[in-house]
Structure 1
Amino acid sequence: MNIYTADRSGADDPTIQRLEAEPVNSARVRKPLYEARRKIFPKRAEGRFRRFKWLVMLVTLGIYYLTPWIRWDRGPFAPDQAVLVDLANRRFYFFFIEIWPQEFIFVAGLLVMAGFGLFLVTAAVGRAWCGYTCPQTVWVDLFLVVERAIEGDRNARMKLDAGPWTLDKVGKRVLKHSTWLAIAVATGGAWIFYFSDAPTLGFNFLTGNAAAVAYITVAILTATTYVFGGLMREQVCTYMCPWPRIQAAMLDENSLVVTYNDWRGEPRSRHAKKAVAAGEAVGDCVDCNACVAVCPMGIDIRDGQQLECITCALCIDACDGVMDKLGRERGLIAYATLSEYEGNMALATGNGATGIVPSNVRNPDVSFSDKVRHFDWRVIFRPRILLYTAVWTLVGIGLIVALVSRDRLEVNVIHDRNPQYVLESDGSIRNGYTVRLLNMVPEPRTVMLSIEGLPGATMKVPGISDASDRLFAVPVDPDKATALRVFVTLPAGGITGEAIDFQFIAEDRSSHERDVYKAVFNAPGTRK
């Protein structure tokens, strides 16, 4: 008798059609380091994972194409585009956040978070990034939607591809590739809108008045999107992407991956009723090849984990659909961990072995439909996952704290190199400085510039006042650095044999922001 106690009354269901689908990428064949593309015609899948992929595709494409058009009011002195990489003025705007070049630590922190987030997701649920949110996957899904809409589903596309070049075939191919190119152009066009005001750049682009770099960028991204998403879609994941080779180090025995449960499915049988009547032990797999037909990478998941598998789970949807028609329990192909799989294999074979046991070894005395091990979500919270989560969270908290507590006013000072000092007729010493007041808010401010720690010294700020004083009110432009020439004069009686340290202080009294720069005053005979 079969070790998996399921109703087999529908094993010969005429609605289950065996598809002539051989894997293009086979784990059973040693492949060269590179081979020419063999076309894959994935069949349309239906099920919960396919619906989730539709949702992810709509959300990610919506974010990519629509984000540059979102407006965000920052006042009259700053751009109103919500997300903008302003290379000309060296700014990055993200809604209410503005990043200056010297604040690149925030970008570095986000990259660290992205890296640990990818490690976390992979360790927990395998290559979920590749299967659902990778740009290559998303755009290939979009291109396949176009291909199916124009040429039909798998069998129709295969027949069309193998058939002669008729007028109908030429028309469909021209329409398909034209639509792909239109999507590729929209992809490149959307990218350049992140680097300039989208409505203005869009008008200039269409009227031929945009900068040459805009047209070059769109041309390059159009070519790469069209080629990678349409002409090399399987080759990119197999040969160009490094992540399939890195993921092995990220997975462990408790990582969720798409798994064919051969302890339940083997031996395969296309005529289950006859086999059962003959007293043979048969598995639930009816060898319909539905899982192979829907795979966008052309693999047979029944051969085990493979480099080409992007964990999109469409094979789960296909297999579950067949199991539903046969009246059997879902999960012949499912997300499972290695430890769960080995436990069920040991239970199926009736021994305590924890290694993978050949699936045709059966113990007819064991019935375990009520003992099958299912995924325990508690294994998600294992030390490795907690470590990744802790690092990711700490970096995120650190970035938030730094972002909230950062000052929006800075003062930078450069001492004149030649001359180091000027000896005036009354014996006093004058030093020259270039002071840059950095106003990092998109509104004008008045900054009080003063010196501290140099008794008896005064300063002059040409362009602000002709008087000498220790405190000046300096109007600064919004979201800009205001450069000033400042001369500090020290009477002859204040000079010593050492270089004298003092401070430039910039303060906005309305917002209570304050920044201090330590400077040095040079005089004849001084040394530091």
Structure 2
Amino acid sequence: MSSLSDLTSPNSPLYQKRKGVYPKAVDGFYRRLKWAIMIVTLAIYYVTPWLRWDRGPYAPNQAVLVDLAHRRFYMFAIEIWPHEFYYVAGMLVMAGIGLFLVTSAVGRAWCGYACPQTVWTDLFQHVERWIDGDRNAQIRLANAPWTAAKTTRRAAKYAIWLLIAIATGGAWIFYFADAPTLLREFVHGDAPSVAYATVGVLTATTFIFGGFMREQVCIYMCPWPRIQTAMLDEKSLIVTYKDWRGEPRTQGLKKAATTDASFDGKLGDCIDCDQCVSVCPTGIDIREGPQIGCITCALCIDACDKVMDQIGRPRGLIDYATLEDAVIEKAGGTAPPVLKTLLRPRTIIYFTIWASIGAAMLFTLGQRTRLDVSAQHDRNPAFVQLSDGEVRNNYTVKIRNMETRPRVVTLAIAGVPGAVAWDEAGSRATAASTMRVRVPADSVTKVRLFVAAPGAGPQRTPLTISATYEATGAGRSEADSVVANFERAKPIEEEEE
């Protein structure tokens, strides 16, 4: 891969042809960490739609479900309605601030460990090593002529990639409908056409991006590397080659003395083995400094530490370090502990904002009622004069029951002296200040409400319409109210017109 200076050179082309990158297998702490994160993230993605959660007979039992048909979002015990979209917005804000926090603390760790492109690319590369062999074997096979053996290997590899891609697209659609039901419909050809189209698009993108455009997605297509660069500072932990310790790099004392006229007898720890380049999934050389192609996966640290162990030199020639730490170590000092580096004002502020949003959302989730009422006053006509001198106003009242069971709600009016109300099933003779309305589970019930009051009084009086639900035997009640206007005459602005 090209270095950052090559990509930004005035004479460089807008887009360079992809050069094959064949990362070498490596073992170490960061490789095992990537294994663990890959297993956990893939398990969450593929398994979550199949988890069940009992919400009673009136709601779906899928633990995580985006129910577009009924405009609901379910996540275990949490149910989000369309008018509560601010919770979704809050989660998106938390995700953004979380990325800012991680980036300011440990650089592009999201890209290196948890980004979907990284996770599926890593999975595809393991399949590739299993079929084609490690780095050297892959290079030999890529340069070899097409034979029956090569064709067989390519067909087997592409077939497994395709199965993974299909599973990826298939898992996504299960988040939007009951997974077992949709799977049966999908297999029998009865699923909605949008399901097949979605699986097709996601299969193609996973297969192409993970198999043939791996590092190109990170370098050319994804805007996040450019954004993250703006969030890094001299206190951010990034993968760093300690050139003051590694240079001058050489493969031996004799070679250095015969090839380097400026050789003064001092050798760096870097033996120019290129292991850090061989294991890099984007093919960069970390010794050239920070680059847009570095996703901070730290596999070069594992490779370099292994070489340092073999030649009897201290580990950490390539390591996580801040620019401030680099200056301190280069001067012969000791860098501060990692914990002190992480706990600095910028990261603390990010974490405080992130935690505050999460705590506020949890508090409102715990305090919210599952009953909601709204009212719309008829404007044409604004009121009706009855034969007995009373004035009647008409309202469309919506009662939202956000419980997974039907409820009987008491609808009451207050604020207008002598006012009584009835619905379409009643009459003026049966009118009262309260009435009972049955609201089905997880639904909104519209009530056509007629309110009559004496004609004498202010031209416009605030009318409070409340909905109350008393839980039988639970000693608990839920209530919500809305204020509308009760009018006895045309508004002044209308009379002037």
Assess same fold via TM > 0.5.
yes
Question: What's 1:72 paired with?
Answer: 53
Q: Cα gap change, 1:40/1:526 in structure 2, threshold over 3 Å: closer, same or farther?
A: closer
Give 1:147-162 correspondences, 5 Å limit: 147-162=128-143
Q: Of 423, 446, 465, which aligns to 1:483?
A: 446
Give the match for residue 142 of structure 1: 123
Equivalent runs, 1:95-494 vs 2, <5 Å: 95-272=76-253, 280-347=265-332, 372-373=334-335, 375-463=337-425, 467-491=430-454, 494=455
What is the deviation of 1:489?
1.5
| Matches of 2:389 and 2:395, distance apart in 1 | 20
How far residue 376 of structure 1 moved from its aligned partner, in angstroms, is 4.1
CA contact (8 A) 1:497 1:527 kept: no
Alpha carbons 2:382, 2:490 under 8 Å: kept: no
Cα distance 1:522–1:47, how it changes in 2: closer, same or farther (>3 A)? same
- The 1:464/1:396 distance shift into structure 2, 3 A limit, reads farther
- Alpha-carbon distance in 1 for matches of 2:371, 2:334: 64
- Cα distance in structure 2, aligned partners of 1:112 and 1:320: 38
Q: What's the CA shift for 1:276?
A: 9.1
Amino acid at match of 2:249: R
Determine the C-alpha separation between the residues in 2 that align with 1:81 and 1:310. Answer: 36
* Equivalent position amino acid for 2:478 in 1: E
Q: Report the number of matched residues.
A: 480
Identity of aligned residues (%): 55
> Partners of 1:222 and 1:527 in 2: how far apart?
63
Please give the alpha-carbon distance, in whole angstroms, between the structure 2 residues aligned to 1:77 and 1:162: 61
**Aligned counterpart, 1:26:** 3
Q: 2:470 maps to what in 1?
A: 509
Please state how far the C-alpha of 1:120 moved relative to its aligned partner: 0.9
Which amino acid in structure 1 is aligned with residue 237 of structure 2?
L
Cα distance, 1:26 vs. partner? 2.5
Secondary structure of the structure 2 residue equivalent to 1:76: coil
Task: Note if contact 2:399-2:444 (Cα within 8 Å) is conserved in structure 1.
Answer: yes
- Find the residue that maps to 2:431 and give its secondary structure: strand
Counterpart residue identity of residue 440, structure 1: M
Paired letter, 1:377: L
Following the alignment from structure 2 to structure 1, what is the Cα–Cα distance between the partners of residues 118 and 490? Answer: 70
| 2: CA distance, partners of 1:302 / 1:476 | 68
Where 2:294 maps in the other structure, the secondary structure is coil
Name the SS of the counterpart of 2:220 in structure 1.
helix
Q: AA paired with 1:506?
A: A
Alignment partners' CA distance in 2, 1:296 and 1:249? 23
Deviations 1:158-190 (A, max 9, x none): 111111010111111111111111111111111
Query: Contact conserved, 1:497 with 1:526, CA < 8 A, in 2?
Result: no
- What is the SS of the residue equivalent to 2:215? helix
User: Displacement of 1:248 after TM fit?
Assistant: 2.2
The question of whether the paired residues in 2 share the 8 Å contact of 1:496 and 1:526 is answered with no
**Does structure 2 retain, via aligned residues, the 8 Å contact 1:336–1:375?**
no
CA contact (8 A) 1:258 1:333 kept: yes
Contact kept? 1:276, 1:282, Cα under 8 Å: no
- 1:437-460 superposed Cα distances (whole Å, 9 cap, x missing partner): 101111111111011012212111
Q: Is this contact kept in 1: 2:459–2:489, CA < 8 A?
A: no
Cα deviation 1:227-274 (Å, max 9, x = unaligned) = 111111111000111121122221111111101111111111212477
* Larger relative contact order (CA 8 Å, sep ≥ 6): 1
Contact 1:461 / 1:485 at 8 angstroms: preserved in 2? yes
Q: Which amino acid aligns with 1:25?
A: S
Cα separation, 2, equivalents of 1:375 and 1:293 = 30
When residues 166 and 464 of structure 1 are mapped into structure 2, their CA distance, relative to the original with a 3 A threshold, is: farther
3-state secondary structure, aligned to 2:160 = helix
Query: What amino acid does structure 2 have at the position aligned with 1:35?
Result: Q
Q: Against the structure 1 CA distance between its residues 464 and 340, is the aligned structure 2 distance closer, same or farther, given a 3 Å change threshold? A: farther
Q: Write the deviation string for residues 368-426 of structure 1: whole angstroms up to 9, x where unpaired.
A: xxx65464421222111111111112111111111111121111111223332222222
Residues 471 and 324 (structure 1 numbering): CA distance in 2 closer, same or farther, change over 3 Å? same
Secondary structure of residue in 1 paired with 2:363: helix
Would the aligned equivalents of 1:340 and 1:375 in 2 still touch at CA under 8 Å?
A: no
Judge conservation of contact 1:119–1:250 (CA < 8 Å) in 2: yes
What residue ranges of structure 1 are gaps of 5+ in the alignment?
Answer: 1-23, 348-370
2:449 is paired with a residue whose SS is: strand
> Mean alpha-carbon deviation: is it higher for 290-299 or for 470-479?
470-479
CA contact (8 A) 1:502 1:521 kept: yes
**Corresponding residue number in structure 2 for 1:90:** 71
Between stretches 510-519 and 306-315, larger displacement belongs to 510-519
Cα deviation for residue 436 of structure 1 reads 0.8
Instruction: Please state whether the residue corresponding to 1:335 is helix, strand or coil.
Output: strand
